[in-house]
Structure formats: C-alpha cells, structure tokens
Amino acid sequence: MINEKKMVAVLGAGTMGSGIATVMAKAGHSTMLFDVNEQNLQRGLDTVRGFFDVSVQKGKLTSEEAEAAKKTLNGTTDLHDLAPSDVVVEAIFEDLSLKKETFGRLDDIVSERTLFHTNTSTLSVTGIASGSKIPGRVVGTHYCNPAPLMKLVELADGRHTEQWAHEATLEFLTTLGKTTVVTKDRPGFIVNRFLIPWENSCIAALEAGLGTKESIDAAVKGALGHPMGPFQLLDIVGLDIHQQVATRLYEQLRDPRFFPPPMVDRMVAAGDLGRKTGRGFYDYENTRLFGS
C-alpha cells in the first residue's frame, strides 16, 4: 500500500477537516472533501487551495506541485459520492450519536474493506465504531492541529479493531509523511491529556496578569522551543473548539485542570473565536486558518 495513491474521503470541512484534506491532497491521494452544508464545503475547499497558494509564495512548493495537489481535490455534499473511497477520515462535530450514524450510513455505500478513521480525541473510538456493522475496520487517527503543519498523528485502536485495519492504517499514514504514535482508546489520548491543561494554565496566567499574550507566546517559543505560542495555536484551533474539547474531557475525567477558564466562555460568547472570525487573542485581516 505504501506507494499506492488512494481515494480518500474527508468528512467535515471545518478547521480539522480542511487541514486533513490538505494533507491528503499534498500527498497525492485523490481527495474528496464532504460536508452537509454547501457554504461550509466551499469555505473548506478554498482553505485547502489557499494553503497551496501560500506555500508557493513562501517557496515551500513549486507552482507545478501546488497545481498537481489542487487537481486531486474535489468536494461533495452527497455521501454516495464517497462510494469509491479506500479510506474515510471522519472529522465532523464531536457528537457520538452523529459519528455513529454517519459510519452506519457509510456501511451501505462503501466497500467492506474501506478503512474508517475517526479524528476524535475526546470520544471513545470503541463507541464510535459501534455505529458500523464492521467495527473491526474503525481506527482512531488524531491529527495534531494544524494538520498540514504538524507531523504527529495519534493512532488508537477500538476494542474490536482488527489487526489488518491497524496495519493498513500505519502504512497509509506513512504515505502522508507523518510521525505516528500508538496510544490507547482513552479520553484525550496522549497529546490532549497534556495540551488542554497546559493551554488552560496559559489562559489563566493571561487572565491573572502574569504576562501579555505576546510575552507568554514569546516565552513559550523562546524557552520551550514550541513552533508557535499557546495563544497563536488557540486562535488557529478556535476558542469554541477548545471549549468543547476541554469541557468534554473534564466531564469524563473530572479533573479541574481540564475545565476551561472563564475567559474562554467570555470570548466564545463575544464571537471572538480566533482566525476564522478575524479576532481571538489576536486580530486578523487574513482569516486563512493555516499556511499564512
């Protein structure tokens, strides 16, 4: 499988979905981005294409490479268009019932050997897999955000994931140039178990006046070697997404470190969600989620 180009369907054209679609298209896989909403779909497709345009401007891709990647990309609002898919990557809203229902509907559309990947990091892979008639083909693949820029993918098997699906997933992730770590099907996996409490502590430090957003971001990048500061990252992820993930992990783990600070609630209520709304911790003229 390693050198084969696949037909990959990405479900959900939001921040994660468009980022994952970018990864697939850049790797040369035939990529179909799906969303139930036409406006969201077009926004997602524009985000992917915009990433490649900026990559050319920055000298990270040639214009020929960018155009080749764009040609692999298509979009649809019809699940039946995903019938030829070799791999389906689900990156829709973090709702267990919705994810289960979506995989159940796809059972009757795609091949029995189509891999089902879920990008969740807060819900049970086993629970999501129970929506499919073939739970053995469902694997958790959590792409770190922003997916086109971050190398890491966490792989988590559900209780009934079969060995062929696990091995095929590892091989497929190799074609993307990703570093894969295998973890257990537990809330937050590895990354969000560490990241969410740390981000919450950075927000709390800002709220307490320990530093400015600029100084805290500079300290994290300069001393810890992170490629971006916590507030730059939160603006890309979206404050609404951080709120949802943090709250869901708190509900499962009952650890107060996961509970989002009050500033998060105020920012979400004000619509200051980050890059996608033009204002979060920082203000943005360019609302492109990544690549700029």
What residues are annotated to the active site? 121, 142, 154, 192
Q: How many angstroms separate the CA atoms of 36 and 34, rounded?
A: 7
**How many separate helices (H) and strands (E) can be counted in the chain?**
11, 8
Distances (CA, A) of 80 to 32, 39, 88, 102, 104: 12, 19, 13, 12, 13
User: Looking at the chain, how many residues does it have?
Assistant: 292
> Which 8-state DSSP code applies to residue 288?
-
Backbone angles phi, psi at 147, to 5 degrees: -55, -40
Backbone angles phi, psi at 241, to 5 degrees: -70, -45
Cα 195 from chain centroid?
Answer: 15
Q: How many angstroms separate the CA atoms of 86 and 67, rounded?
A: 23
Residue with tokens 């560490």: 194
Q: How many angstroms separate the CA atoms of 156 and 122, rounded?
A: 12
